[in-house]
Amino acid sequence: MTTFVEFDLEPKVLQAITELGFEEATPIQAKSIPIALTGSDMIGQAQTGTGKTAAFGIPLISKISKTDDKIRALIMAPTRELAIQVAEEIEKLSRFKGLRTLPIYGGQDIVRQIRALKKKPQIIIGTPGRLLDHINRKTIKLEDVNTVVLDEADEMLDMGFMEDIQSILKQVPEDRQTMLFSATMPPNIQKLAQQFLKNPEHVSVIPKQVSAPLIDQAYIEVPERQKFEALSRLLDMESPELAIVFGRTKRRVDELAEALQKRGYSADGLHGDLSQNQRDTVMRKFRDGSIDVLVATDVAARGLDVSGVTHVVNFDLPQDPESYVHRIGRTGRAGKEGAAWSFVTPREIDHLHFIERVTRHRIPRKPLPTLAEAIEGKQRITAERLLEIVEQGELNEYKGLAIQMLEQYDSVQLLSAAMKLLTGEKRDAQIELTPEDPIRAKRRKPDIRSGGRKPSNFGSGRGGYNRDNRGGRGGYNRDNRSSGGGGGGYNRDRGDRKPRTGEGSDTRRPRREDSFES
Cα–Cα distance measured from residue 398 to residue 266, given in angstroms and rounded to the nearest whole number: 28
Least distance (Å) from ligand ATP to the CB of residue 228? 28
The DSSP line for 471-503 is ---TT---TT--S-STTTHHHHTTT--PPP-S-
CB atoms within 10 A of CB 221: 17
In angstroms, the first-to-last Cα distance of the chain is: 39
Q: How far is CA 183 from CA 47, 58, 338, 417, 441, in A?
A: 5, 18, 17, 50, 23
Least distance (Å) from ligand ATP to the CB of residue 82? 8
123 within 8 A of 90, measured Cβ to Cβ: yes
Which one, 142 or 215, has the nearer CB to ligand ATP?
215
Choose among 445, 440, 446: nearest CA to 509. 440
Could you tell me which stretch among 23-31, 112-120, 216-224, 365-373 binds ligand ATP (CB under 6 A)? 23-31
22 binds, among Mg ion, ligand ATP, none (CB under 5 to 8 A by kind): ligand ATP
Cα–Cα distance measured from residue 498 to residue 275, given in angstroms and rounded to the nearest whole number: 21
Looking only at residues 154 through 193 of this chain, which bind ligand ATP when binding is defined by CB under 6 A? 183
Could you tell me which stretch among 49-57, 154-162, 249-257, 466-474 binds ligand ATP (CB under 6 A)? 49-57
Tell me: does residue 126 bind Mg ion (CB under 5 A).
no
Beta bridge partners of 73: 123, 147
Which one, 205 or 235, has the nearer CB to Mg ion?
205
Identity (one letter) of the amino acid at 324?
Answer: Y
Q: Which SS3 state, helix, strand or coil, does residue 57 take?
A: helix
Which one, 212 or 253, has the nearer CB to ligand ATP?
212
Least distance (Å) from ligand ATP to the CB of residue 58? 9
**What mask of x and - would describe binding to Mg ion in positions 382 to 421, judged by CB under 5 A?**
----------------------------------------
Could you tell me which stretch among 169-177, 328-336, 421-429, 466-474 binds ligand ATP (CB under 6 A)? 328-336
Could you tell me which stretch among 7-15, 25-33, 348-356, 508-516 binds ligand ATP (CB under 6 A)? 25-33
Looking only at residues 288 through 307 of this chain, which bind ligand ATP when binding is defined by CB under 6 A? 303, 305
Which helix (H) or strand (E) element contains residue 52? helix 52-62
Which one, 81 or 514, has the nearer CB to ligand ATP?
81
Choose among 20, 102, 88, 30: nearest CA to 303. 88
Q: Which SS3 state, helix, strand or coil, does residue 173 take?
A: coil
Can you tell me which of 31, 51, 52, 509 binds Mg ion, judged by CB under 5 A? 52
316 binds, among ligand ATP, Mg ion, none (CB under 5 to 8 A by kind): none
Looking only at residues 271 through 310 of this chain, which bind Mg ion when binding is defined by CB under 5 A? 303
Least distance (Å) from Mg ion to the CB of residue 32? 13
Cα–Cα distance measured from residue 246 to residue 301, given in angstroms and rounded to the nearest whole number: 8
Q: Give the interface with Mg ion as residue ranges (CB under 5 A).
A: 52, 303
Residues that bind ligand ATP (CB under 6 A): 22, 25-26, 29, 46, 48-54, 183, 303, 305, 329, 333-334
